Structure 1
């Protein structure tokens, strides 16, 4: 059981009052607009997510279903969004921003960027670094202290602009924290993602990105190796999303896609110390076919090649 003190409670309440005033959420219209904070957040989620339903949006925002429904009705009457019936399930209706809604989102997004820029611009660079690191630490602590379960909405989607930079960042950050790998690994990931974008062949290659509550928490790529061989690359699952089978789902997407694309074999290269990933590969049918010692990313490692006949 956590130990609470009135001092801690009062400090958190004081911080809440400070930050709400600082970022301007107490103003009647957010970012000099006619939209409330909740309305602006809904525009952001619909602009950056796919196949979003009212129930999914309600869960994501952690708000009352009736409250969200009233806002959706208001935005629909304003011509900001509309509802699209699912082709696969006639009972399901997805929310989409209209052309007007996308324009409004772009204005809000630009204003938000400019406002944050103006606030950071008056802070010395080294203090900006401390601020961002502290924010990351707060988010990490609060995320880990929350109950994460299968009810948290995880969406797997194709990549879009901006994803590759996030994939590089996530790999560089996580592998440094968990394995102590240096910038050489981050450079390798950057090269792989750059090659993927430059040489992308949609019928033969694909990237899947997993989001949980709007945050990128996983990814994997399939790239062409030859006419008959596909390569699985850059599998990662964020620690907060582990334990619920997301890694297995991402690998299975690769297997299914590679079969449909006509490949005869799916291969991958990993290292022996990546125990959780190796477990996923073994569980999904891959076989370890070769091992080789090497010096990379600041460490002595054992590289492994795994294969799956399709």
Structure 2
């Protein structure tokens, strides 16, 4: 049980309010103009939505940001007076007016956007990489618990793309160091396996699945060609924040289905006996332990295991 969960309800409320005061002060939200500009936080948020998600109606914009229609109308009139907005009628419903930014509006937004990026970058630069990871993970938890308590964002699986390989090597290196004390040679191994996959990738016989939710990578797995009859399942991992959701089983099932569809006779994998959760998934899917061997790797004494599934 966490320390916070033992606090009385009133103390939890006080703690959240204290954090809100800290963050608004730290990020400068109490200043008259956000990011040393003449625009308020709300005005910058409106510019952001129109720059990134426009065109949209005023009603949609107000719903997205939770703004009072009268308050939003006053802001939009101010933008109109500065030639930041353009309005166009819907071709499907002439009663609907869509808002978007003019060239002047985009010219106004861009320096604000850069200033925001620079501000967050400066804040992160004061933290170590591990502290940055902890901060981002904590924010993900807050966003998921508070923002999506009523509706879980679905997790999607997609093929790998540029940037994923480096991410996978880094995340697995960090996670296995934190959870099992493995050294940097494990990250090196992951990087070698993933790099080899990309260099020799055969889309007809191989596949990588990246699990993603709301733009956040939650896990991945590779299926790699070994021979015309044998495929290898490699580098299965799931982020701690996504464990318990059945994602590991889903990734393994994708590998099995793909291997069968491509005519492989056997799906094989190598793991270590300390990875209990992964072993449970493999056993539940019918994999059989065919070999065990003690070895010293990643700074630890381990027992490697080979598991096979007849397809």
Alignment length (residue pairs): 262
What is the TM-score of this pair, normalised by structure 2?
Answer: 0.67
2:280: which partner in 1?
Answer: 279
- Secondary structure at the aligned position of 1:210 is classed as strand
Question: Residues 114-129 of structure 1: matches in 2 within 5 Å?
Answer: 114-120=118-124, 123=126, 127-128=127-128
Instruction: For 1:4 and 1:190, locate their aligned partners in 2 and report how far apart those are by CA, in whole Å.
Output: 47
The reply to whether residue 234 of structure 1 matches residue 230 of structure 2 is no
2:304: which partner in 1?
Answer: 303
Mark the CA change 1:275 to 1:224 in structure 2 (over 3 Å): closer, same or farther. same
* Residue range with higher mean Cα deviation, 290-299 or 127-136: 127-136
CA contact (8 A) 1:143 1:240 kept: no
The reply to whether residue 185 of structure 1 matches residue 189 of structure 2 is no
**Aligned residue among 15, 21, 31 for 2:19:** 15
CA contact (8 A) 1:158 1:209 kept: yes
Instruction: For 1:42 and 1:255, locate their aligned partners in 2 and report how far apart those are by CA, in whole Å.
Output: 44
Deviations 1:237-263 (A, max 9, x none): 122222222111100101111222232
- Secondary structure at the aligned position of 1:202 is classed as coil
Task: Give the C-alpha shift of residue 30 in structure 1.
Answer: 8.4
- Secondary structure at the aligned position of 1:19 is classed as helix
2:248: which partner in 1?
Answer: 247
* Residue range with higher mean Cα deviation, 294-303 or 34-43: 34-43
Deviations 1:69-102 (A, max 9, x none): 999xxxxx989xxxxxxxxxxxxxxxxxxxx9xx
- Secondary structure at the aligned position of 1:236 is classed as strand
Task: Give the C-alpha shift of residue 181 in structure 1.
Answer: 1.2
Mark the CA change 1:108 to 1:241 in structure 2 (over 3 Å): closer, same or farther. farther
- Secondary structure at the aligned position of 1:178 is classed as helix
Unaligned 5+ segments in structure 1 are: 47-63, 72-76, 80-99
CA contact (8 A) 2:28 2:34 kept: no
**Aligned residue among 63, 74, 86 for 1:67:** 63
Q: Which has the larger radius of gyration?
A: 2
CA contact (8 A) 1:231 1:267 kept: yes
- Secondary structure at the aligned position of 1:217 is classed as strand
CA contact (8 A) 1:271 1:301 kept: yes
What is the TM-score of this pair, normalised by structure 1?
Answer: 0.67
Task: Give the C-alpha shift of residue 268 in structure 1.
Answer: 0.5
Task: Give the C-alpha shift of residue 21 in structure 1.
Answer: 4.8
Higher relative contact order (CA 8 A, sep 6+): 1
Task: Give the C-alpha shift of residue 213 in structure 1.
Answer: 4.2
Instruction: For 1:139 and 1:207, locate their aligned partners in 2 and report how far apart those are by CA, in whole Å.
Output: 28
- Secondary structure at the aligned position of 1:209 is classed as strand
1:3: which partner in 2?
Answer: 7
